[in-house]
Amino acid sequence: MEQVQRMCQVCRNRFNKKDLNRFVFDKNQLFVDNQKKHNGKACYVCKNKTCLDSILKKKVFNRIYKTNFDTNQYENILKEIELANTTNKQN
């Protein structure tokens, strides 16, 4: 059975869906979807440190969701990713 693949919105490379961070924008709220099941418009970014750092520099979510997110929202999302990734490593 072939794995479902998605494209990282930063580096544009394709990865297995389970190897990517999923972000969802729903009801004017942006959040990390760790369970990969929430409704709303989703985008994927790989777990590569360079890509994660580029999220803020390139304003990736502004482009994808056609909304202006401020720097604090980007920083909160990056902290949420960092927390999720450290939690996954401990399990």
pLDDT per residue over 33-74, tens digit each? 988 899 999 999 999 999 999 998 999 999 999 999 999 999
> Residue 91 — pLDDT band, cuts 50, 70, 90?
low
Q: What is the pLDDT of residue 86?
A: 75
Overall CATH class of domain 5-90: alpha beta
pTM of the model: 0.85
C-alpha distances in angstroms, 32 versus 2, 20, 53?
25, 11, 15
Per the CB < 8 A criterion, the answer to whether 17 and 3 are in contact is: yes
**Domain locations in the chain as residue ranges:** 5-90
